[in-house]
């Protein structure tokens, strides 16, 4: 071969090599796959997601949507509503069957059975298994097994889990220290401590948890479990009149009545967070998720002063529900693949890492173990969470039935009655009858 | 009340020489054409949905189930009247709320109207200011009332303490929640009854009052024996409007308590809303709606009859 | 005698002041609170003197969403009112002149029916027509409230127009239709303005229909403010600022047409 041609070939090869490696090594942005995965495959489509208001939807995803739109060319409408209205809105739209919703969030303990029976979930197992539709970076095995279990209803994988939560005891370390008190380990110690720390004259209360009708069912659950009760018996019938359940209801109502702030029957999770953050209560029990709010000095007066512990144990141990919201593709969607693209992007390693950095608990092991997550959260919280997890009951935030809202309203009414001082047995009887009736009508 | 159908007008209309055929046709059928668009809109938006709702009330249908509506005859109504544990309490709550609201707003409205009927400097301004609670957006104001009613830091409890009264739990206790809601409702709708009573007072003839004054009647006697009887029709109108609106109350209750604590403030309208959009029990909700509408219609017709007899 | 009269006058002013205080206090409280910082708001006993801050308003108005919702409220209010006027004015005229009481009864039953009675069928219908979260759909639903109001009030105004003027027009050779257009309408114009304002106010304030039929694109202020509360963990300063911003437009409108509102509401009431 003449020298000039060899030179030409060498130059061409070098150029190709250079261009190729530039292309290979270039970083087109977060969550972008290398190689064959085509992010722009559904460019030009539009998807609409209905989601629940949470730090994740508001602070992590919403600001990042332009990145997704640029990556894929898919336009996203990300509609956020507070929980109560979100449920109504979603239900009403899905019922109409118009396909106006492409994806949504759901809480499997609450919506799982009903949505599955209504045929609203698009099972995503087949999407995950399809390399043409799922980026190789996605790695579904990276998700903790019990979170994957939570997102599985009757054997179907219905969505990607987002932020697992258990219930924890939050307490004011400074207050306990000042009074030389130890963190309560048992239910009796808990009630004692709450009474001791209540100082009505100074508007400071020993304990707060949810008292608002439907919401309170969630925080009542550990009280029932710790005395040995369950929501449903093995026949799927309500077990609210068992001695354990009645004792749990009675204790919960009494503690809130005697050591809780006035107006506790109107307290939802947002008010629990507010009361704790404003420094008005010594202890609270609620979802583990709120740690990021509590430790945020711009939102919380007590940032840095809070301790985190397991919920005190009863005769049957310490058990809380484990639940997680999941993000799903709607079976009615006309753009299922495009919606799936969004789901996998929103739950990709990169996005979940961002979530972890913002101190929101994550369902991915890689993000959980990341130095950012481990480093940014209080050690005590991590320890308490990880200790609670093995003993938790998946999805048991309320009886797992089809008609959850109605059931929760009815049990919630019993909780309010107990807080108001009515005999727990009577309230439990009433709720038991009503829930049995609901189950009969709807299952 | 004047009309255009006097013989003179008719004759004039008939004898018109000019006008295109279309225009003449329009003129002749004007009495049907004028309301036609409005009737069409109302039929479409109102009557058909109501008929559909009544039809649906004879079916069982959980909207999230894969089965469509199943015909069950009057089963929903039987369930409603006989076995539903939340219906009768909601009915009672609605009645108590309505009666309370009507009485409070009409009495207050009449009183304030008496003040505003007089001539005094700043009357125009006062009359305008009085309107404001009714005009302000109900949802926004209900939330403001929530902040005022906070059991720990609300200004209302502070006001109570200023006059030596104990603090109230307002909307956070089943015992006081209805009274608290009534306070907000009364605040919001007294302007309406005030306006109605004001118009009524302004339209009263002067002679009965003059005769009473000549006869030496005291102010109280004038009020009870002259004003009230003459105002009966006005008061019934005010009561009619208030009754309809109070029976239908939704915004305030939904925003402030959602029917709680427990079910203590659950009115019929709220119960229907929960059943429809929270529980998705559409067949049963339709039956509830039919019963609810009948209640409102019945109460209204009763009051209209009272008014007719009052003329 | 003199002392008695003075006592009565004093009594009058006291009662008047008390009534106005009762009716205006929440509005004043709301306005005050909107300038408080969170810390000041949480203080008890409530602070009457404090350093005002504009932070709440900045937060509420600065977020572009709020202005978008205000625009939605405005579009829907004006749209539904214009539609109602278009359809309702001839109907009101007809009732006034032809004494069509049956139509009046239809309207009364529109007023009586609870909004929820329509919501389920509407939702199904609008979904099938793919009209959910569109301006026309929300405007149509608001019409169920605005149209009867419009007709009700306009009937009273039309009845005030002297029939002799219209008769004169007829005798001069005008058609009934042009009598409506050229004589009755211009004379009832202040009534039309008042009615329009009343319609806009009642649509602006509507909550339940917007809650179910509107979506992200058409969300109106009352629904938006409700969302605001729950997420922002009881930011009371923000809430009162938002409430002020929502109610201010309608309150201002009321001031301008107060005279007409009074006439419109009461005329409709007494003659309806």
pLDDT digits (tens, 9 = 90+) for B9-42: 555 555 555 557 777 777 777 778 888 899 899 8
Measured CA to CA, the distance from residue B74 to residue C70 in angstroms comes to: 45
**Nearest-CA distance B169 → chain A (Å):** 7
Q: Which of C90, C112, C269 sits opposite B34 (nearest CB)?
A: C90
Q: Is B228 on the interface with C (CB under 8 A)?
A: no
pLDDT at A24: 47
**Nearest-CA distance C243 → chain A (Å):** 18
pLDDT at B15: 56
pLDDT at C47: 80
Contacts of C173 in chain B (CB under 8 A): 12, 16-18
Would you say residue A295 has pLDDT above 90? no
Contacts of B62 in chain A (CB under 8 A): 403, 442
pLDDT at C40: 80
pLDDT at A34: 47
User: Which position has the higher pLDDT, A319 or C253?
Assistant: A319
List the single residue in A with minimal CA-CA distance to C120: A92
**How many B-C residue pairs are in contact by the CB < 8 A criterion?**
297
Q: Which of A65, A96, A214 to mutate to test the interface with C (most CBs of C within 10 A)?
A: A96
Would you say residue A18 has pLDDT above 50? no
Task: Look at C243 and B143 and tell me if their CB atoms are within 8 Å.
Answer: yes
Strands A321-329 and A306-309: unpaired
Contacts of C87 in chain B (CB under 8 A): 37-38, 41
In sequence order, the β-bridge partners of residue A394 are A322
Residues 6+ apart with CB under 8 A from A372: A353, A356, A357
pLDDT digits (tens, 9 = 90+) for C114-151: 888 898 888 778 877 878 778 999 999 999 989 988 88
Q: Which domain holds residue B188?
A: 79-310
- The tally of CA atoms less than 13 A away on the side-chain side of residue C124 is 14
Would you say residue A293 has pLDDT above 90? no
Q: Which of A90, A408, A409 to mutate to test the interface with B (most CBs of B within 10 A)?
A: A409
pLDDT digits (tens, 9 = 90+) for A380-434: 999 999 899 888 998 999 999 999 999 999 999 999 999 999 999 999 999 999 9
Measured CA to CA, the distance from residue B264 to residue B255 in angstroms comes to: 15
Q: With bands split at pLDDT 50, 70 and 90, how would you rate the model's confidence at B8?
A: low
Q: Is C215 on the interface with A (CB under 8 A)?
A: yes
Q: Is C255 on the interface with B (CB under 8 A)?
A: yes
Would you say residue A209 has pLDDT above 80? yes
Interface partners of C (3+ CB pairs, < 8 Å)? A, B
Interface of B with C in 74-103 (CB under 8 A): none
Task: Look at A420 and B261 and tell me if their CB atoms are within 8 Å.
Answer: yes
pLDDT at A415: 97
Give whichever of B103-112, C184-193, C195-204 has the largest mean pLDDT: B103-112
Residue B22 inside a domain? The answer is: no
Would you say residue B1 has pLDDT above 50? no
Question: If we measure between CA atoms, which residue out of C234, A275, C45, C243 comes closest to residue B155?
Answer: C45
pLDDT at C272: 44
Task: Look at C170 and B52 and tell me if their CB atoms are within 8 Å.
Answer: no
**Nearest-CA distance C247 → chain A (Å):** 22
Mean pLDDT over residues A130-140, rounded? 90
Q: With bands split at pLDDT 50, 70 and 90, how would you rate the model's confidence at A33?
A: very low
Where would I find the H helices in chain C? 2-33, 38-41, 55-62, 64-98, 101-112, 116-128, 135-160, 163-171, 176-179, 185-187, 189-204, 208-213, 221-231, 236-256, 258-271
Residues in chain B whose beta carbon is closer than 8 A to a beta carbon of chain A? Answer: 62-66, 85, 150-152, 169, 171-174, 257-263, 274, 277-281
pLDDT mean across residues, chain A = 89
Give C18-51 as a 3 state SS string.
Answer: HHHHHHHHHHHHHHHHCCCCHHHHCCCCCCCCCC
Q: Is A265 on the interface with B (CB under 8 A)?
A: yes
pLDDT at B301: 87
pLDDT mean across residues, chain C = 83
**Which of A150-159, B257-266, C55-64, C255-264 shows the lowest mean pLDDT across its residues?**
C255-264
Would you say residue B289 has pLDDT above 90? yes
pLDDT digits (tens, 9 = 90+) for A321-334: 999 999 999 999 99
Complete domains list, chain C, with CATH: 59-271 (1.10.3720.10)
Superfamily per CATH, domain A42-164+323-379: Periplasmic binding protein-like II (3.40.190.10)
Cβ(A327)–Cβ(A399) below 8 Å: no
Give chain B as a 3 state SS string.
Answer: CCCCCCHHHHHHHHCCCCCCHHHHHHHHCHHHHCCHHHHHHHHHHHHHHHHHHHHHCCEECECCCCCCCEECCCHHHHHHHHHCCCHHHHHHHHHHHHHHHHHHHHHHHHHHHHHHHCCCCCHHHHHHHHHHHHHCCHHHHHHHHHHHCCCCCCHHHHHHHHCCCCCCCHHHCCCCHHHHHHHHHHHHHHHHHHHHHHHHHHCCCCHHHHHHHHCCCCHHHHHHHHHHHHHHHHHHHHHHHHHHHHHCCCHHHHHHCCCCCCCCCCCHHHHHHHHHHHCCEHHHHHHHHHHHHHHHHHHHHHHHHHHHHHC
Measured CA to CA, the distance from residue A281 to residue A300 in angstroms comes to: 13
Mean pLDDT over residues C96-112, rounded? 79
Q: Which of B8, B27, B34 sits opposite C167 (nearest CB)?
A: B8
Which ipTM score applies to this complex? 0.86
Here the tokens at position A224 are 């029932």
In sequence order, the β-bridge partners of residue A172 are A306
List the single residue in A with minimal CA-CA distance to B60: A441
Mean pLDDT over residues C243-271, rounded? 74
Domain count of the fold of chain B: 1
pLDDT digits (tens, 9 = 90+) for C162-174: 878 888 878 887 7
Give the rounded percent of residues in chain B with a pLDDT score beyond 90. 48
Superfamily per CATH, domain A167-319+401-442: Periplasmic binding protein-like II (3.40.190.10)
The reply to whether omega before A231 is within 30° of 0 (cis) is no
Measured CA to CA, the distance from residue B53 to residue C113 in angstroms comes to: 12
pLDDT digits (tens, 9 = 90+) for B108-130: 999 999 999 888 898 888 988 99
Q: Which pTM does this prediction carry?
A: 0.85
Q: What is the CATH number of the domain that holds B295?
A: 1.10.3720.10
Measured CA to CA, the distance from residue A139 to residue A438 in angstroms comes to: 41
Would you say residue A198 has pLDDT above 50? yes
CATH 3.40.190.10 intervals, chain A: 42-164+323-379, 167-319+401-442
């Amino acid at each position: 071969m003449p020298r000039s041609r060899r030179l030409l070939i060498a130059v061409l090869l070098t150029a190709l090599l250079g261009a190729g490696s530039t292309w290979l090594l270039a970083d087109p942005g977060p969550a972008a796959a290398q190689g064959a995965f085509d992010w722009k495959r559904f460019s030009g489509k539009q998807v609409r997601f209905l989601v629940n208001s949470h730090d994740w939807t508001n602070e992590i995803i919403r600001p990042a949507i332009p990145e997704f739109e640029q990556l894929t060319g898919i336009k996203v409408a990300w509609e956020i509503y507070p929980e109560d209205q979100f449920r109504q809105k979603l239900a009403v739209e899905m019922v109409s069957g118009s396909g106006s919703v492409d994806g949504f969030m759901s809480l499997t303990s609450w919506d799982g059975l009903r949505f599955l029976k209504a045929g609203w979930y698009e099972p995503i197992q087949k999407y995950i298994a399809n390399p043409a539709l799922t980026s190789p970076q996605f790695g579904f095995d990276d998700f903790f097994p019990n979170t994957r279990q939570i997102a599985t209803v009757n054997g179907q994988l219905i969505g990607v889990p987002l932020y697992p939560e258990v219930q924890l005891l939050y307490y004011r370390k400074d207050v306990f220290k000042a009074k030389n008190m130890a963190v309560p380990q048992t239910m009796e110690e808990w009630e004692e401590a709450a009474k001791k720390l209540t100082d009505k004259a100074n508007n400071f209360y020993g304990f707060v948890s949810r008292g608002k009708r439907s919401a309170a069912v969630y925080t009542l659950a550990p009280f029932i479990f710790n005395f040995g009760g369950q929501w449903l018996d093995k026949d799927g019938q309500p077990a609210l009149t068992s001695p354990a359940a009645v004792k749990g209801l009675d204790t919960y109502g009494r503690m809130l009545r005697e050591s809780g702030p006035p107006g506790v029957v109107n307290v939802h999770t947002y008010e629990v967070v507010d009361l704790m953050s404003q420094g008005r209560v010594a202890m609270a029990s609620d979802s583990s998720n709120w740690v990021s709010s509590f430790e945020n000095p711009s939102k919380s007066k007590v940032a840095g002063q809070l301790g985190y512990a397991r919920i005190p144990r009863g005769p049957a141990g310490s058990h809380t529900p484990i639940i997680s919201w999941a993000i799903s593709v709607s079976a009615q969607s006309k753009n299922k693949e495009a919606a799936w693209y969004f789901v996998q992007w929103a739950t990709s390693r990169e996005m979940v890492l961002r979530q972890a950095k913002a101190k929101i608990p994550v369902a991915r092991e890689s993000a959980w173990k990341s130095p950012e997550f481990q480093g940014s959260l209080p050690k005590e919280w991590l320890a308490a969470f990880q200790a609670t997890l093995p003993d938790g009951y998946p999805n048991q935030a309320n009886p797992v039935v089809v008609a959850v809202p109605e059931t929760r309203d009815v049990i919630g009414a019993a909780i309010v009655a107990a807080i108001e001082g009515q005999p727990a047995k009577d309230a439990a009887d009433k709720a038991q009858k009503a829930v049995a009736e609901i189950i009969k009508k709807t299952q | 009340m004047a009309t255009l159908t006097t013989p003179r007008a008719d004759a004039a209309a008939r004898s018109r020489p000019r006008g295109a055929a279309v225009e003449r046709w329009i003129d002749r059928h004007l009495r049907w054409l004028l309301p036609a668009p409005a009737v069409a809109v109302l039929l479409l938006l109102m009557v058909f949905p109501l008929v559909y709702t009544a039809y649906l009330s004879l079916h069982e249908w959980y909207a999230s189930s894969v089965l469509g509506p199943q015909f069950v005859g009057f089963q929903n109504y039987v369930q409603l009247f006989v076995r539903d544990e939340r219906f009768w309490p909601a009915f009672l709550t609605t009645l108590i709320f309505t009666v309370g609201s009507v009485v409070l707003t009409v009495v207050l409205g009449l009183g304030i109207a008496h003040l505003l009927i007089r001539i005094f400097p700043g009357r125009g301004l006062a009359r305008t200011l009085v309107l404001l609670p009714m005009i302000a957006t109900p949802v926004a104001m209900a939330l403001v009332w929530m902040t005022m009613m906070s059991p720990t830091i609300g200004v209302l409890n502070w006001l109570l303490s200023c006059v030596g009264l104990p603090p109230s739990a307002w909307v956070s206790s089943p015992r006081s929640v209805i009274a608290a809601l009534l306070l907000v409702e009364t605040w919001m709708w007294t302007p309406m009854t005030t306006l109605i009573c004001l118009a009524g007072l302004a339209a009263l003839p002067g002679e009965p009052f003059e005769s009473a004054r000549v006869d030496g009647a005291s102010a109280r006697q004038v009020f009870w024996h002259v004003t009230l009887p003459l105002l009966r029709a006005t008061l019934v109108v005010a009561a009619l409007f208030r009754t309809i609106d109070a029976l239908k109350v939704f915004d305030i209750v939904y925003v402030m308590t959602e029917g709680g604590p427990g079910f203590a403030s659950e009115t019929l309208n709220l119960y229907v809303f929960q059943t429809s959009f929270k529980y998705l029990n559409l067949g049963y909700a339709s039956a509830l709606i039919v019963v609810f509408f009948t209640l409102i219609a019945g109460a209204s017709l009763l009051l209209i009859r009272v008014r007719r007899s009052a003329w | 005698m003199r002392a008695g009269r003075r006592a009565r006058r004093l009594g009058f002013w006291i009662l008047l002041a008390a009534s106005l205080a009762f009716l205006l206090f929440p509005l004043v409280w709301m306005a005050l609170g909107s300038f408080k910082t969170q810390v000041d708001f949480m203080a008890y006993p409530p602070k009457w003197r404090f350093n005002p801050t504009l932070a709440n308003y900045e937060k509420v108005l600065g977020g572009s969403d709020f202005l978008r919702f205000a625009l939605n409220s405005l579009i829907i209010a004006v749209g539904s009112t214009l539609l109602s006027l278009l359809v309702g004015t001839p109907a009101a005229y007809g009732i006034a002149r032809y004494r069509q009481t049956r139509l009046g009864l239809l309207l009364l039953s529109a007023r009586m029916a609870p909004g929820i009675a329509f919501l389920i069928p509407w939702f199904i219908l609008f979904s099938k027509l793919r009209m959910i979260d569109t301006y026309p759909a929300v405007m149509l639903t608001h019409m169920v409230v605005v149209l009867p109001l419009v007709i009700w009030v306009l009937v009273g105004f039309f009845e005030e127009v002297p029939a002799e003027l219209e008769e004169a027009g007829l005798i001069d050779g005008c058609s009934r239709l042009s009598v409506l257009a050229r004589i009755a309408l211009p004379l009832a114009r202040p009534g039309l303005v008042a009615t329009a304002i009343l319609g806009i106010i009642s649509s602006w304030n509507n909550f339940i229909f917007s809650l179910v039929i509107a979506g992200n694109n058409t969300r109106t202020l009352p629904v938006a403010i409700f969302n605001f509360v729950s997420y922002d963990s009881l930011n009371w300063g923000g809430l009162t600022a938002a409430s002020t911003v929502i109610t201010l437009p309608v309150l201002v409108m009321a001031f301008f047409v107060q005279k007409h509102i009074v006439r419109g509401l009461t005329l409709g009431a007494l003659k309806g």
